[in-house]
Structure 1
Amino acid sequence: MSPTFFLCQRCNQPLKLSQELCAMQKEPLKAQPCASTPTKTPVSGELQARTSSRPFPDSGRTTQESACCTFTLLGEFTTLRTLNTIQNTVLETFEILSGQKDVDHPLCDECMDNLLRQLDAQLTLVESDNQKYRSFLERESLVSEEEKEATHTELLAELRALEQEEARLAQELKDIDHHCTRIAAELGAAQEESKALNQQEEQDWMDYSALKMDQLELMDQLSSVETQLAYAQRQLRHLRKTNIFSITFTISDEGPLGIINNFRLGCLPDIQVGWDEINAAWGQTALLLFSLAKIAGLQFQRYQLVPRGNHSYLKSLTGDGVLVLFSDGSHSVFLNNKFDRGMKAFLDCLQQFVEEVEKAEEECFFLPYKIHVKEGMMEDSWGSGRCYSIRTHLNTEDEWVKALKCMLTNLKLLLAWAPLRLSGAQGP
C-alpha cells in the first residue's frame, strides 16, 4: 500500500506530515465510524458540516499552521476509509468537477505566512477605505441642505466644465490622431523618397566613379598627346632651325675646283676628272637651282630646267630644242655645241633666280660674281674684275673651271638665303 504525498500548491515542495499522521498511515485504526475523521476539511460551512470536527494532532502547531492543513485527502489511505469520509470525498469531487467549488490545495508554512501577509495588507487597505467612508459620512451629516445644494450646483458646473474639457481634449486627441496619421503617411512617403534618393545617390556615385575613370583615362591620353605635341614642337623648332639645303647640298669652293656633294665640277690639266663625275656634279647643280626656284615660286621664262642626275638638261621654251648639261668629252671645243649652250642657258636661269631674290630683298642682296648671260661669263666684281667664260668653245680649261667655281660660289650664298625664304613662306 503506497502512502499519500502532499505538495504545496504555490511552491510545489513536499509537505511534512505530523508523526501521528504518519503512524496512522502505517498502522490501521479500529473502525469507529462516528468517532473521528482523520482529515481537516476546508473552512467553508458546508464542507465543515460534512466532515468531522476532530482534526489531526498537530503536535503543538499554531493556529495559523493548523489552518493550512484543512484540505481533503484524495489518495490511498486505507485506515481513514469510513463511510462519512467516502461520502464527503465523493461530494467534494462532484463539486470540484462541476465548477461549484475551487480545489483547496495544501500550503507549506512559508507560503502560508506569505499568504497571511498579503491578506493582512489587503485588510489594512480595506480598513483604510472603510475609515475614509465613515469620515465622509460623518462630514456629510454635519452639512446643511443649502450647503449641499450649493456644493451640488458647484460640482455640476465643475462636471460640465470637465465634460467640455473632456470633449475638447477628445477633439484634440482626434485631431492629433488625424495629424499622426498624416504624419505617418508623410513619413512613409519621405522614407520612400529617402530610399529612392539613396538608390539615386548610389547610382550617381557609380556614374561618378565611371566618369572619374574616364577622366583619368582621358587625362592619361591628354598627357600622352601633350608629350607627343611637345616632342613634335621641339622637332619642328629643330627642323626650322635646320637648313635643309645646307644638309642636302654641300658646296666647297676652297680648292682649285668647285665641289658639290663630293662631285667635282670641271677638270684641269694637272687634275683629271672623269666626265661621269662632271655630269653628276652638273645634275646636283641643276637640282639645287630647281629646288631654290620651287621654294621661291619662280617659273623660268625661256627655259625649263629638268634635273635628271648625270643626264640633266634644259628644254627651250622658244624652239631651240633640248640643251644638255652632260657630255662624254666628244664635243668639239671649236664649235658652239649643245653642251656650251646648255651651260649658257643654265646661267640665264640662275640670273632670273638672282633677280627674283634681289626683288624680294628690296635690292639689298648682292653676289660676289656678276653674271653676263649674253656672253655666258662670270665677272669677279668684288675682286680683280676679270670675266671667265663658262663655255668650252675657244676657252681654256683653267678659265672654264674658274667660271664654274664662281657659279658654285653664288649658289652657295643663295643656300644661306633659302631658309629665310622658307620660314617666311611657312609662317611661325
Structure 2
Amino acid sequence: LESTVKVKTSTMSSIRFMCHFCRGPLKRTSSSETLGLDLSQEPAASKFPSAQGGPGAAPEEGSASGMETDLEELQESASGWTTLSEDEISWSSPSNFTLLGELGSAGTLSSIQRATSGVFDILAGEELGHPLCEGCADSLLEQLDTQLKASESDIQNYQRCLETRDGLSEDARETLQGELKAVELEEARLAQELEEVEKNRERAAVALEAARAETETLEQQERQYHRDLRELQRQHLELQEELCSAEDRLLYAQTQLAWLKRTNAFKAAFEICCEGPLAIINSFRLGCHPTVPWSWSEISAAWGHTALLLLALANTVGLQFQRYRLSPCGDHSYLKSLTDDSVELPLFCTSGQSALVDNKFDEAMVAFLDCMQQFKEAAEKGEPALCMPYTIHVGDGLMGDPGAGEFYSIRTRLNTEERWTKALKLMLTNFKWSLAWVSLRYPHK
C-alpha cells in the first residue's frame, strides 16, 4: 500500500494549473494555504473512500488495489486533469483548465485528496469561474472597469433624462411627444426610402450585370467586326490588284486591237514581191529561169498559195465561181470541174522537165485564169472599181502587157521558160493590185 501511495503521490505531484485564456502555466505559491487548504493533517482511515473494510482493519492486498482504483477514479473524475511529465503542457484537453507541476513530495495521500477536493470546490464555486494568470486577470479587470465606467455614464444620462422629464410642463411634454411622433414618422419615411433605395440598388445591380453582359457581347461583336473589316480590306486589296491587272490586260488588248485594225489581213497573209524576172508569193518563187536554180516542188507550193489567195478574194466580194471550183491544198492544189465531176485539173507538177508538155497542168492554169477573170469582172462592178494593170485573155490563155503591147502565154507547151515565167509575174502583179483594192474596199474584213 505504501508503495502504491508513493507511486500515486509522485504522479499527482507532476500536476500544474494552466491559464484558461493565454494557456500559460500558473505559478504556484510557496504554501498551500493560498488555496485555503490544510495539507498537514492526516485523514482518518475510515474517511478515505477506499478504506471501507472497518476501523482498525489491517490493510490487505485487496484494499491496496481498491485504494489504487479509487485514486484512478478520482483522477479521471476531473475531466480537466491531464498528467504529464514535468515541464510539459497539454493543449488538446477539452476541459477548462489543465493541472501540471508538483504539489510537493512531502504530501500524503489524504492531503492530496483534500487538496484535490478543495480545488474542485473553488472551481465549482462563484468566486472564480476559470483559472487565470496574473496578466490575463489584469486585462480582464481593465475590461470590466471600462464596462463599469460606460454603465455608470449611461446611468447618469438616464438620471438626467428622468430629472429633465420630471421638470417639464404638460405643454412641453406634448410638444416633445409631437416632435417624437414627427421624428418617428420621418424615421419610418426614411426607412421606406431606404428600402426603396435598396430595391433600386438591387435593380441597378441587375441592370449593371445586364449592361456588362451586353457590353461584353458588343465587345465581341466589335472584335468580330474588326476581323471582318480586315478580311474585307484584304479582299479589297486583292480585287484592286485584279482590277489593275485587268485594266493592264484591257489596255494591252486595246493596243493590239488598234494595231490589228490598222493591219491588212490580206497583206499580212499574202506577201507578193518580185525578184528579178521571178515573182514571189510568201517566199515561194512562181516560175523558173535558166540563170536561177529552181524546183517543181517550190513552183507547186507557190501555185497553192496563189489559189488560196484567189479563193479568199472571191469569198470577200461574195463571188461564186462558175465552171470550176478551186481547192487549195498546198503543193497539191487543183481545180475541179462543176459540169463534169470526173474532171480534176492539177495545179502542181512532179514530172520534172516533162511538165512543160503536160496538157493537164496547162489546162489547170488556163482554168485558173478563167476564175481570175470572173473575179476581175465582179471587182470592176464595185465602188471603187478594181482596175488591174494587165489584161487577161482566157480563151487564148494569155496575159497582156498594154504598155509594151506584148502577150505572154500561161501554158508551158510550145513556150519558153522566160515567157511562161513572165506571164506568171504579170498574173501575180494583178493579184498585188487586187490585195490593195480589197483592203480599201473592205477594211473591216
After TM superposition, is the score higher than 0.5? yes
Contact 2:386 2:437 in 1 (8 A): no
* Structure 1 equivalent of residue 423 of structure 2: 403
Task: Decide whether aligned partners of structure 1 residues 353 and 163 sit closer, same or farther in structure 2, where only a CA change above 3 A counts.
Answer: farther
5 Å matches for 1:259-274? 259-268=280-289, 273=294
Please point out which of 132, 136, 144 is paired with 2:161: 136
The structural deviation recorded for 1:253 is 1.3
Task: Decide whether aligned partners of structure 1 residues 270 and 114 sit closer, same or farther in structure 2, where only a CA change above 3 A counts.
Answer: closer
* Structure 2 equivalent of residue 160 of structure 1: 181
User: How many aligned positions are there?
Assistant: 372
The structural deviation recorded for 1:263 is 3.9
Contact 2:17 2:99 in 1 (8 A): no
Partner Cα distance (2:217, 2:165) in 1: 70
Q: Which runs of 5+ in 1 are unaligned?
A: 34-71
Q: Are 2:385 and 1:342 aligned?
A: no
Helix, strand or coil at the partner of 2:275: coil
Contact 1:324 1:338 in 2 (8 A): yes
Please point out which of 286, 289, 292 is paired with 2:310: 289
Contact 1:253 1:408 in 2 (8 A): no
Contact 1:378 1:390 in 2 (8 A): yes
* Structure 2 equivalent of residue 254 of structure 1: 275
Q: Are 2:129 and 1:104 aligned?
A: yes
Q: Are 2:151 and 1:126 aligned?
A: yes
Q: Are 2:347 and 1:325 aligned?
A: yes
Helix, strand or coil at the partner of 1:253: strand
Range with bigger deviation, 205-214 or 187-196:
205-214
Partner Cα distance (1:73, 1:406) in 2: 149
Helix, strand or coil at the partner of 2:444: helix
Task: Decide whether aligned partners of structure 1 residues 313 and 221 sit closer, same or farther in structure 2, where only a CA change above 3 A counts.
Answer: same
* Structure 2 equivalent of residue 309 of structure 1: 330
Partner Cα distance (1:16, 1:397) in 2: 159
Helix, strand or coil at the partner of 1:304: strand
Helix, strand or coil at the partner of 1:258: strand
The structural deviation recorded for 1:339 is 4.0
Q: Which runs of 5+ in 2 are unaligned?
A: 1-9, 44-96
Helix, strand or coil at the partner of 2:280: strand
Q: Aligned AA for 1:126?
A: S
Partner Cα distance (2:372, 2:98) in 1: 153
* Structure 2 equivalent of residue 81 of structure 1: 111
The percent identity for this pair of structures is 49
* Structure 2 equivalent of residue 12 of structure 1: 23
Q: Aligned AA for 2:23?
A: N
Q: Aligned AA for 2:24?
A: Q
Partner Cα distance (1:199, 1:420) in 2: 71
Deviations along 1:141-183, one digit per CA (max 9) or x if unpaired, are: 443xxx2x22332233223333433443344344445445544
Deviations along 1:121-140, one digit per CA (max 9) or x if unpaired, are: 22332332233233334434
The structural deviation recorded for 1:404 is 0.6
The structural deviation recorded for 1:306 is 1.4
5 Å matches for 1:363-402? 363=384, 366-373=387-394, 376-380=397-401, 383-384=403-404, 386-392=406-412, 395-402=415-422
Partner Cα distance (1:102, 1:372) in 2: 166
Please point out which of 17, 28, 41 is paired with 1:31: 41
The structural deviation recorded for 1:210 is 7.5
Task: Decide whether aligned partners of structure 1 residues 262 and 387 sit closer, same or farther in structure 2, where only a CA change above 3 A counts.
Answer: same
Partner Cα distance (1:171, 1:29) in 2: 71
The structural deviation recorded for 1:256 is 1.3
Contact 2:16 2:99 in 1 (8 A): no
Partner Cα distance (1:20, 1:214) in 2: 103
Q: Are 2:209 and 1:150 aligned?
A: no
Deviations along 1:324-381, one digit per CA (max 9) or x if unpaired, are: 4345565897x9x554443233233334445656666x31765443445555443445
Range with bigger deviation, 179-188 or 233-242:
233-242
Deviations along 1:58-80, one digit per CA (max 9) or x if unpaired, are: xxxxxxxxxxxxxx997774479
5 Å matches for 1:235-254? 249-254=270-275
Contact 1:74 1:89 in 2 (8 A): no
Deviations along 1:386-413, one digit per CA (max 9) or x if unpaired, are: 4434344665543332121011223345
Higher relative CO (Cα under 8 Å, sequence separation at least 6) belongs to 2
Helix, strand or coil at the partner of 2:326: strand
Partner Cα distance (1:283, 1:413) in 2: 19
Task: Decide whether aligned partners of structure 1 residues 103 and 286 sit closer, same or farther in structure 2, where only a CA change above 3 A counts.
Answer: farther
The structural deviation recorded for 1:254 is 2.0
Range with bigger deviation, 383-392 or 229-238:
229-238
- What's the TM-score once normalised by structure 2's chain length? 0.62
Q: Aligned AA for 2:41?
A: A
Q: Aligned AA for 1:378?
A: M
- What's the TM-score once normalised by structure 1's chain length? 0.64
The structural deviation recorded for 1:230 is 7.2
Partner Cα distance (2:391, 2:259) in 1: 35
Helix, strand or coil at the partner of 1:31: coil
Helix, strand or coil at the partner of 2:336: strand
Helix, strand or coil at the partner of 2:425: helix
